[in-house]
Structure 1
Amino acid sequence: MDRKGFSRRQFLQMMASSTAAAIAASAMPLTTLAQDSMSYNEAPMLADLVASGNLPPVQERIPANPRVVTPPEEIGQYGGTLRRAFKGISDRWGPTKLNEEMAIEWDIPDPDTVNVVANYISEWVQNDDATEFTFTLREGLKWSDGHPFTTVDVQFWYDWYYMGDLADRPTPITIAGEPMELEVVDELSWTVRFPAPNPLLPLAIAKLTLGSWAGPTMAAPAHYLSQYIPDLTTDQSLIDAAMEENGVDTWQQLFGDGGTPQGQIAGWWFNPDLPVINAWKSVNHPSNDPWLAERNPYYHAVDPEGNQLPYIDGMTHAWFDDNAVFDLWIAQGEIDAHIRHVASANFTFYKENEAAGDYTVLLWRAAETQAFYPNISHKDPVLREIFNDARFREALSISINRQELNDLVYEGLFEPRQASPVSGSPNYDPEFETRWTEYDPDRANALLDEMGLELVDGVRMRPDGEPLSFTILFQSALAQRGDEVNLVESYWEALGLQVNQELVERTLYQERTDNGDVDVGVWSADRNSVVMADVSRYTAEQADGPWAPLYGAWWANSPRAQEEPPADHPIREIWRLWEATLVEPDEATRNALFKEMLDIHKEHPYMIGTVGEGPVPFIKKNNVGNILGGNIWDDTLRSPGGVASVTWFFRS
């Protein structure tokens, strides 16, 4: 049996072509249809609503110039409900990444190509020094309740989400601490201006939305959300009732804590009544089992034959706690299309059950490395000093037998490597990839001796005389990595370190890492394909990879726990170089600055990678069309978004 499905050489070729295309893309030529050029078709469930007078005709529901999405295989058929699964509200990325709507999106028509394209906007243009961008909505764009989507919604977002009481100022649109300026041009167009060049804005939009959670970009449904803002409504009773129902103390919390638009009113999957522009809209609260979503009758895209998308009527997500239960559902054919939580370590199991479950195991490729994250902003000053010492991190890294780990845990399917940009990335560096990866336990022990961490009765002692003990924290969604954690624990204990493990539910893991209450975290060093599109792993903004959660929160002005690093700490130079990269309009200079930033990580890695660049199994029922193998799996690309999921369909 061919377990890899593709060679490493093929992987590198595909990664190189796709990431280079993405980083070079700007405002791509658009494919649109004028409404007078053809007729439109719709799903039977919507046609029934039109016939009964409960929905306007399809020509009145979609824009005059809808986006045209070309299916990767064939024109699909309407109908059906996609069966999927998740671990509950804290596992939101499974449901939500399939359903994000940014103004500018990744478009991955085949495994060898990645572009950025206009989505619900018809175009965007920028001036020569990238200080000014103008966006234009598609004419006739509507929210899922049929209300027009206009620049009124952009102004509302700017006034309340960005500048007002809901202040949420993402770094990519707040340059050098100065807020972005907004000018509404007309009903469809708006211009944003920055105090310095912002050349990476299109990539940031494709990755981060930069607006309401899961989209849209720089906009929110003013006609609906204004009734929950005291200054914009005369009916305070509605706000009071919503606050009581959701158990919050302020109206701002209905929109989300800390400026993050994920609250019970403003979060699209929490609130079935919230108007959206996504392909599917929530039917019930995600605390229900299963969580349900149904098609948006006003969705703005069609296929080349004028069929309004999406093809599939809806989705269900059943809850599971134990990955073994999820794997059983797969084997029994109860999952239609899924990649999240489909463990590469169980590849053989999935293959053995293909026929019985009537599915196919496709292989995607991971732009990530499995990693351990010693917390250099630790609240214990002794552990902080130890973890900040590059000699200690090197000792941890070179004591790991990566080839043995790969063979025993991952059946040899991965590549031993350091946490770094993956092969094929424009930022790939072979020296970085192999930094501190050669197995050398003798040198590891010598480094610990050099640090003065005395070995007493087989146990390393801290400078304060206490045993050097720490806990590896990882979360239940990564339970399949337990064998890897066990093996790494054994390598580190062989150095005389006292190592414990703690497996917690994802919500608790996030809470602990957000608060900086972690010794060594376990997470993937992902976002390593188009690294400039999301550098948060390298700036410590992402607390789930907690190499410096308190420092990263301070720099990003995050609402979570934070602490300012010492004035001479190397992390400050990382931040300075990234801030310079962000505003540098010259591409060559920008790339040089970015490389200098990455070189700091290369010199003394903060994230300890083990193995990576492995195949990622994608389960696809045999009657589901328009899903290809070979695509890149990376959070930066919003995987599995970007692959025209609105064209997935059931063959009758």
Structure 2
Amino acid sequence: MKWSDGVPFTADDVIFYWEHMLTKETFGKKIYDAYYSVDPVSGEKALATVTKVDDFTFKVTHKYPSVQFLERVAIDNKWFFAPAHFQKTILPEFVGEAKALEIAKQWGFADVKSFLVATGYYYWVNPQIPTLRAWVAKNDPNSDQFIMERNPYFWKVDSAGNQLPYMDRIVATKVQDPAQRVLGALAGDYNLLGFDFKDFTVLKENEKKAGYSVLAWTTAAWSSTGLQFNQTIADPNLRKLFQDIKFREAVSVAVDRKEISEIVTNGLGAPIQASVPEGLVGYQKGWADQWSKFDQARANQLLDELGLTKRDKNNFRLNADGSDLTITVTENTTNTATFLELVKKYYEKVGLKVDVKVVDAGTHNDLKYANKIAATTENISLVNVAFRPDTLVPLRVLTPWLGNYGLYTSSNGKEGVKPEGDIALIMDYWNKVKSSTTKEDITKWSNEIIKLNQKNQWLIGYTGPTPNLIVVSNKMGNVPKNLIFADEFRSLGHGHPSQFYIKQ
């Protein structure tokens, strides 16, 4: 094997990555959990050791059993190596802080830290950095068109012994306007493009005329439309409300899912509750029907039982103490506008005032870290909680419904909100997952985490998952018609793009 610049790839590149980058956290990431094993008795975490056996062999040794090591490395770390011959020319450890800063500025970075993140973690989008990937970046990824060309030393071959990839060049064009994306597809401007389910009808109607196929790839999403309510929101009235299961049932049954399904998803998303799709770890028969029947009388009854009986002059419910009650849904996109208009209509019919605010992605992220997002439409999608726990387990600030529970964990209790009740129980189960010595135990405790999510229904879904729509030109070959499109499987990478080709 060789790097894209022709330099041999050896075990030294693995040892270098481990000793000089990962364990020293040079690229802005903490050491991944995959590299720790856990004592099943005491819960003690122990870091693995990595040693070189010979030029093409290295050994990873764990103190305690680490049943999921290979899967966790593949999903969390994504790689276990770095081009040592290149990194030695930029890392401060080898060139000194002053020289590293000089190089960083030459590359267009203001400081060494951001430079090392870009060249260590996001290395594959930098043309200057050798890679093992099928294609090599040729220009700035922030350009309107990102160009990649065939890696002449790529290490994979097809069943006949032909070196991959088949395609010599890939041009990824940025199209931010959803309408322009559709028009481009209809005009045949692209060979492969992903779309939202709302575009299904127009894309399908023009399939033959435009010379493409619309593929429906399966996702691991729990729903296609829904809301998350921050369980740690700073406002004490909202926090008490959101943490009450009666509130979550009320906002669930208050909405006509059939209308949401038809108007928002073109009927592709079934009118069901957010739940684990059949076939995945944690699937439970009947969960999809939980609180899914449209019943505004029931919603009003539940809200009254919560003490929200006082109304303002516009007939909106007030908090039990008489103060204003407004549920602010904060979004970082306008794509959910139609869905939220319908939700707002139904919520207001049962007396809940809703305010929708749209901010840019950076502001949305800042508000999330500041614990100021009360509600948002972000979805949950995962194949297996044991592999990708962050959306169901409060390990960091990521998933809106978990709020600052995750900050408490990531800061070792110095910041955030301490998990209690079933949230604390989730953490207990997660620790059991990590310390499990068999795959059977991992599945057992993973299922317990899922069951708590069914019991509490922290994510309120209004329509079931819809497929990920992919428009593929009829000129393309080897693009799979069916695929599980999930982050754990590296999304499109699961389809092995190195085997895609353009028909002559």
Whether the TM-score (by the shorter chain) exceeds 0.5 is yes
Q: How far did residue 273 of structure 1 move?
A: 0.5
1:358 maps to 211
In 1: Cα distance, 2:297 partner to 2:59 partner: 60
In the other structure, the counterpart of 1:192 is 60
- Alpha carbons of structure 1 residues 572 and 619: separation in structure 2 relative to 1, 3 Å: same
Q: CA deviation at 1:543?
A: 5.0
2:114 alignment partner in structure 1: 253
SS of equivalent residue, structure 1 residue 184: strand
Correspondent of 1:271 among 126, 148, 171:
126
Letter in 2 for 1:312: M
Per-residue CA distance 1:219-248 (angstroms, 9 max, x = gap):
222211222222212694353241465343
1:167-214 per-residue CA deviation (whole Å, 9 max, x = no partner) reads 521223234443222222222222223343221223223333x1xxxx
Residue in structure 2 matched with residue 230 of structure 1 by the alignment: 92
Q: Quickly say closer, same or farther: Cα 1:462–1:431, change in 2 above 3 A.
A: same
The offset of 1:270, in angstroms, is 4.1
CA 325–634 in structure 1, closer or farther in 2 if over 3 Å, else same = same
The residue type equivalent to 1:474 in the other structure is E
Q: SS in structure 2 opposite 1:421?
A: coil
Change in Cα spacing, 1:360 to 1:562, as seen in structure 2 (3 Å) is farther
Displacement of 1:456 in angstroms is 0.8
Paired AA for residue 154 in structure 2: Y
Aligned residues: 492
CA distance in 2, matches of 1:319, 1:546: 28
Q: Give the CA deviation at 1:603.
A: 0.8
User: For 1:205, which of 50, 70, 73 is the aligned residue?
Assistant: 73
Shift of 1:625: 0.3
SS in structure 1 opposite 2:287?
helix
Question: Offset of 1:531 from its aligned partner?
Answer: 4.0
Cα distance, 1:403 vs structure 2 = 2.0
Q: Could you tell me which runs of 5 or more consecutive residues in structure 1 were left unpaired when the two chains were aligned.
A: 1-140, 257-262
- Taking only aligned residues, the RMSD between alpha carbons, in angstroms, comes to 2.4
**1:451-462 alignment to 2 at 5 Å?**
451-457=306-312, 458-462=315-319
> Contact between 1:367 and 1:634, CA under 8 Å: does it hold in 2?
yes
Equivalent residue, structure 2, for 1:474: 331
Deviations 1:573-627 (A, max 9, x none): 1011012012212333332222222111111111112212323321010110001
What's the counterpart of residue 34 of structure 2? 172
Percent pairwise identity: 27
The CA deviation at 1:426 is 3.5
Indicate if the aligned counterparts of 2:483 and 2:494 stay in contact, CA closer than 8 A: no
Pick one of 10, 15, 22 that aligns with 1:150.
10
Post-superposition offset of 1:544: 5.4
Other structure's SS at 2:64 match: coil
Partners of 1:398 and 1:449 lie apart in 2 by 14
Q: Are the equivalent residues in 2 in contact too, given 1:467–1:498 (CA < 8 A)?
A: no
Alpha-carbon shift at residue 165 of structure 1 (Å): 4.5
Structure 1 residue 311: Cα displacement: 0.7
Q: Which amino acid aligns with 1:189?
A: T
**Distance (Å, rounded) in 2 between the aligned partners of 1:632 and 1:366:** 6
| Residue type at the aligned position of 2:477 | G
457-466 vs 611-620, which deviates more?
A: 457-466
The alpha-carbon distance between structure 1 residues 462 and 247, as it changes in their structure 2 partners (threshold 3 A), is farther
Q: 1:230-629 maps to which residues of 2 (within 5 A)? A: 230-233=92-95, 236-243=98-105, 245-249=107-111, 251-256=112-117, 263=118, 266-339=121-194, 342-368=195-221, 369-370=223-224, 371-457=226-312, 458-476=315-333, 479-527=334-382, 529-541=383-395, 543=397, 545-557=399-411, 563-566=415-418, 568-629=420-481
Query: Contact 1:420–1:525 (CA<8 Å) still a contact in 2?
Result: no
Q: C-alpha separation between the residues in 2 aligned to 1:480 and 1:568?
A: 35
**Equivalents in 1 of 2:145, 2:130: separation in Å?**
21
- What is the TM-score with the length of structure 2 in the denominator? 0.90
Query: Please, which moves more after superposition, 543-552 or 238-247?
Result: 238-247
CA displacement at 1:266 relative to structure 2: 4.8
Alpha-carbon contact 2:407-2:417 (below 8 Å) kept: no
Deviation at 1:329, TM superposition (A): 0.8
SS of residue matched to 1:442: helix
1:373-408 C-alpha deviation (Å, 9 max, x unpaired): 111121323322222222222222222222221122
Mapped partners of 1:450, 1:311: distance in 2: 64
Cα 1:432–1:378 shift into 2, 3 Å: same
Q: Secondary structure at the match of 2:58?
A: strand
TM score, norm. by length of structure 1: 0.71
Counterpart CA distance in 2 for 1:434 and 1:171 is 36
Structure 2: gaps of 5 or more residues:
39-44
- Cα gap change, 1:394/1:570 in structure 2, threshold over 3 Å: closer, same or farther? same
Tell me, in whole angstroms, the C-alpha distance in 1 between the residues paired with 2:353 and 2:86: 55
Identify which range, 313-322 or 597-606, moves more after superposition: 313-322
CA distance, structure 2, for counterparts of residue 196 and residue 417 of structure 1: 42
Q: Structure 2: how far apart are the matches of 1:362 and 1:286?
A: 27
Distance 1:295 1:513, change over 3 A: farther
Residues of 1 paired with 2:161 and 2:143: CA distance? 35
Structure 1 residues 4-48: Cα deviation after superposition (integer angstroms, max 9, x where no partner): xxxxxxxxxxxxxxxxxxxxxxxxxxxxxxxxxxxxxxxxxxxxx
Distance 1:510 1:564, change over 3 A: closer
Letter in 1 for 2:210: G
- When residues 567 and 616 of structure 1 are mapped into structure 2, their CA distance, relative to the original with a 3 A threshold, is closer
